[in-house]
Amino acid sequence: MIDILTSKKYDKSFKKKDKFVQQKALERIRLFREDPFNALLDNHKLHGEYEGCNSINITGDFRAIFEYITKNKVVFYDIGTHPELYR
């Protein structure tokens, strides 16, 4: 099982999302904790500004950006829509 940490930026962005997105994010992070490469998550590496980070799908529009600290520990840095995250 993977340990999950969140940054202050993630926490702030999470609180600004509507309840539906918050609930989906919690569900997807629970799924990620059990199976980080589940097909629903579309876990993939990022490039450019987010080199070294990965992203998972929360909903069709929302993504969460994270980084592996160790094999079994990650930090989620931000959550938002594609345009919000990749400006």
What's the pLDDT score for residue 87? 75
Domain enclosing residue 9, as ranges = 1-84
Structure confidence by residue, pLDDT tens digits, 48-69: 999 999 999 999 999 999 999 9
Please tell me the pTM assigned to this model.
0.93
The stretch 5-12 carries a mean pLDDT of: 98
Percentage of the chain modeled with pLDDT above 70: 100
Tokens matching residue 77: 């840095």
- The domain that contains 27 carries what CATH number? 3.30.2310.20
Higher pLDDT, 87 or 60: 60
What domain count does the chain have?
1
Candidates 2, 74, 68, 63; CA nearest to 31 is 2
Q: Say whether 83 sits in a helix, a strand or coil.
A: helix
